[in-house]
Structure 1
Amino acid sequence: MKIQLFLKGMLRGGIPFVIMSIIAYILYLQNSITDAKGTFYAALIAFIVGFATVIYDINQWSLTKKTVIHFLLMLLTIYPILLFSGWFPLQNITDALVIFGYFLVTGAILWSVLLFLAKKFNW
């Protein structure tokens, strides 16, 4: 079971990571360093989010437990990427809190939409 979830996560996250990393490398070769860097950060985010979706395949866990674990995983991985990606100004703690607000709002919207879709289509 654990190995199957791991492999499923690697597929879900790995495919977009590889594709986007190739695009980032091509951008790098074209001297579009800023675009290459941004694309690579997006590839990392796609990998982590895709990999983390296997949490929702663990039938023994409640939706609350899945949500809390998913949130903590995103907080420990995606939030630091957002902080250091250069996509947002980061001069002080206020900037970090604004980025955290974006992180929370975006996460809540995406989680709500995907929960709605999952219930609507019986995923």
Structure 2
Amino acid sequence: MSGIALLLYFQGKYSDAKGTFVASLIAFFVGAASIIYNIEHWSLIKRSGVHFIIMLITIYPILLLSGWFTITSVFDAVKIFILFAFVGIILWSLFFILARIFSW
């Protein structure tokens, strides 16, 4: 995706390039952090908590700096955090259900 962002940048499509690059960063960090779920001797709660902290340290600042949201106050950053947490809970729940369905 970073390569696509670079091509878009050289074509003069700066806004598309930035959005694609931001999406590639998010995909990279989510993918890299998913390895945490392979640590079998940790409980699911510990793995989920560590994953959330890593997402909070990486993805949340990317969202704040992405330009995808208007941030004029701390309240705006809190609203983005709530959206970040809500989407995280939905995705975690979805993948938990899918893992249970397909693990037998």
TM over 0.5: yes
Select the residue among 54, 72, 82 that pairs with 2:35. Answer: 54
Tell me the TM-score normalized by structure 1. 0.83
**Matching of residue 98 in structure 1 with residue 79 in structure 2:** yes
Helix, strand or coil at the partner of 1:90:
coil
In 2, Cα distance between equivalents of 1:88 and 1:30 = 25
| CA distances 1:48-72 after superposition (whole Å, capped 9, x unpaired) | 0001110000101000000000000
Following superposition, which runs of at least 4 residues in structure 1 exceed 4 angstroms of deviation? none
Q: Cα RMSD between the aligned structures?
A: 0.9
> What are structure 2's unaligned runs of at least 5 residues?
none
More relative contact order, 1 or 2 (CA 8 Å, 6+ apart): 1
Percent of pairs with identical residues: 55
Which residue number in structure 1 is paired with residue 44 of structure 2? 63
Task: Give the total of aligned pairs.
Answer: 104
Correspondence 1:78 to 2:59: yes
